[in-house]
Chains A and B, each alone.
Chain A
């Protein structure tokens, strides 16, 4: 991405002032957008009580760990729920990165019969709201396949989502076809081209796909809530909501729950940072 911004080589001061202004703007806007997050984290350390109506403030008057204590000490399952969420989200993430990206590549760069109608079908599937597909899916998974209370029930339905197939198709379509054609002329198979050429060029988008998939699975509530009835199989979202301590209108336990469930996402985000930064460029090939 170098080259878009002038480096003002004749006068580096202009460059610095410009960056400072942009930085200040970005920080201010971030503060607005992050406001709910700041509030959430701050109040998770608040006392366990009802909130006063007309004395809302950003920070609690008393700082305490009692809400966190309650989540980890009073429920034997909190760690197990985190583990369940991690296993299911990770499995869905891995399978999407592999299967959805393969499908996306085929739709973008392999011209095969039926490719267009199939891709339209994938798009159409996204358009049906989830409320009406939950019942048949429930019948399929719980009544027919007898998968209630299993990891399979939590993982399988999301293993290759239309969203990710579409996302990877869009990205792969901007890889120059000339690259792939020349590889083909040299006798490389599609699988080789995909693994050795296309994937290395697409690390950034795969990282985006990975983190978004992980996040949406981590945050899913309704489906895991439907297919699990045993506490040991709850995901963290289901556990936090059904956990007795969080039931009620008390603010701090609710915010502590939200913070606990958010934390692992931050860790994942920072560990994937590397990939967002490595701009992989294609080199001097022009079509």
Chain B
């Protein structure tokens, strides 16, 4: 009896804690989501849609460009997200040994780019990648006695250019999230490691990394999700070209929903995309383990 009562109380507590968030969430996130799922089964018209079953899904999967964009998105994600996490982790670690004032300066410097507007940033990157000899990267290439490249306009370098842009862009939110995690590590762990005579790298590997696992999992999962939905870079920089080598799924969904008015198809593509992400997220949770207990 008593135990039963206890479980019930936990459940009541749990639901009370999530109540406010879930109400907002159900109305403004789940409802649109469910609506997108049903729309994906329709030939959507604002006045009188028709049910078409799986036709939109068939059309999406049967489209060679859709498959190519899945591949492009995958390449982009795998090349950027893990490296970005590594960079953020290293920068966060390197900020640690300094005194407070210096630390706060570095944190501010590294957070700033996250704040800058995407349009302003892409203007600068268009100059950096300008394929005229006067473009910034091409000037660097000529200093290194390498031939000038047609950065964004050649299928050999377009995707690479977008990847470099992402890696040299800001990692501000990742860095401060890692810093928050590092701040929470108790110094007693290091004292114990010092007694065992552990080196700096051993401490990072055996103490810091495992303790940061929940953060890494969070950043990895959300990083994959964001990267899979990304389309602004392609939209602003390459328009998906050349030869659709930088067309991302997000760009196709955007075009179908907002340019061609094929909203049903856009929803179907979005659901397929969500399923892909869900599979990858499941793998990430399995590999990383979804909880760390001390």
Contact = CB atoms under 8 A, between A and B. Distances in A.
State yes or no: do A and B touch (Cβ within 8 Å): yes
Interface of A: 1-6, 18-19, 22-23, 25-26, 29-30, 32-37, 39-40, 53-56, 98-100, 102-103, 105-107, 110-113, 115, 118, 121-137, 140, 156-160, 162-163, 165-167, 170-171, 173-174, 176-178, 189-190, 194, 201, 204-205, 207-208, 211-212, 215, 219, 237, 251, 254-255, 258, 261-262, 265-266, 269-270, 273, 276-284, 286-287
B106 A30 contact: yes
B142 interface: no
B66 interface: no
Lowest 3 A-B CB distances belong to which pairs? A3-B190, A112-B14, A106-B17
Given A30-B106, A131-B270, A5 B200 contact: yes
B48 interface: no
Chain B contact residues, majority secondary structure = helix
B292 A173 contact: yes
Interface in B1-42: 10-18, 20-22, 24-25, 27-33, 35-36, 39
B68 interface: no
Interface size bracket, B side: 35 or more
Interface in B158-177: 168-171, 173, 176-177
7 contacts: A5-B96, A22-B98, A40-B121, A55-B134, A56-B130, A189-B13, A215-B114
A142 B190 CA distance: 55
Contact of A276 (B35, B104, B117, B281): B104
A258 B184 contact: no
A131 B186 contact: no
A129 B277 CA distance: 11
A72 to B, nearest CB: 18
Given A36-B121, A110-B10, A135-B35, 13 more contacts: A1-B187, A4-B93, A99-B24, A110-B13, A112-B10, A124-B33, A124-B278, A127-B278, A129-B270, A137-B32, A174-B214, A176-B294, A266-B112
Contact of A254 (B110, B119, B183): B119
